[in-house]
Amino acid sequence: MKWICANSLKSVRRLSLITLLLVAGGSVGLDQLTKIVAERELLLWSSPDDLREYRGKRVPVFAWGEYSYDRDNPTSYLEFNFTYVRNQGAAWGMFSEMEDSFRVPFFYVVTLLAFVIILLYLRATPLYHRTSRFGLVLVLSGAVGNFLDRFRLGYVIDFLDFRWVLPFPFPVNLSVDFFPSFLDFLNVSINANSWAYDFPKFNWADSMITTGVILLIFDTLVLDTIRKRQRATDKP
């Protein structure tokens, strides 16, 4: 009986590993494919000597609502475009202004450390924590996708572009402008009637990292609480 249970557990582990590898491989493949298409279709010009010197184009996909230039009577608006951007930094372009002699090895070391931590965490996560394991694989696939960009190109291709205007039902006045330039995305200004924001450009890998982190938080705050209650109920 013990031999059968051990073999059954090994089979479950093997099937779980194969499934997660397929998810990770498919996510990385889709990420790289979309970036190749974005580079081919959206890049207009690039300097052979300086990666920061380039010109990309914006392709409108859809727009919902009507953009209002009247700040006193704003309307709801959502816009999505394909916009080519080379990101040589981290999320939201952080640290992109660093010298290449420091920036490149810095991101290599940070990414490799993230790989090791995620793999160790994945190995230590029980099989029945499926949401957490799936989230870890999504984060890993996103990190691999962006790392491949840095390794083969020296930058990360971003091309998903969202912007919006959200009217408020009551007056709001919020202004944050004390963060330094490399954290400029945290500096926001909301007028009394609406929130207009041009979200930083991103890609499929970024989406997978964000989705994976959300799943990890959900598993920790919600599912783990349910599991603890269930174990307490099952105790004699």
Token code pair at residue 166: 């959200």
Of 208, 167, 218, 163, the closest CA to residue 190 belongs to 167
Question: Rounded to 5 degrees, what angle do the CA atoms 82, 149, 130 make?
Answer: 85
Question: What is the number of H-type helices and E-type strands within the chain?
Answer: 5, 8
Is residue 206 among the annotated active site residues?
Answer: yes
Of 199, 190, 202, 203, the closest CA to residue 164 belongs to 199
Kindly list the strands in the beta sheet with 58-65, ordered across the sheet, starting from the edge strand earlier in the chain. Answer: 58-65, 77-87, 156-167, 194-198
Beta-carbon-side half-sphere exposure of residue 144 (alpha carbons within 13 Å): 21
- Cβ atoms of 204 and 148 closer than 8 Å: no
Active-site residue, from 31, 149, 206, 219: 206
Active-site residue, from 31, 149, 158, 161: 158
Tokens 């962006």, located at residue: 146
Strand ranges, E, within the chain: 43-46, 54-56, 58-65, 77-87, 156-167, 174-175, 189-190, 194-198
Q: Is the dihedral of CA 33, 34, 36, 37 positive or negative?
A: positive
Is residue 158 among the annotated active site residues?
Answer: yes
Q: Which residues are designated catalytic?
A: 158, 206
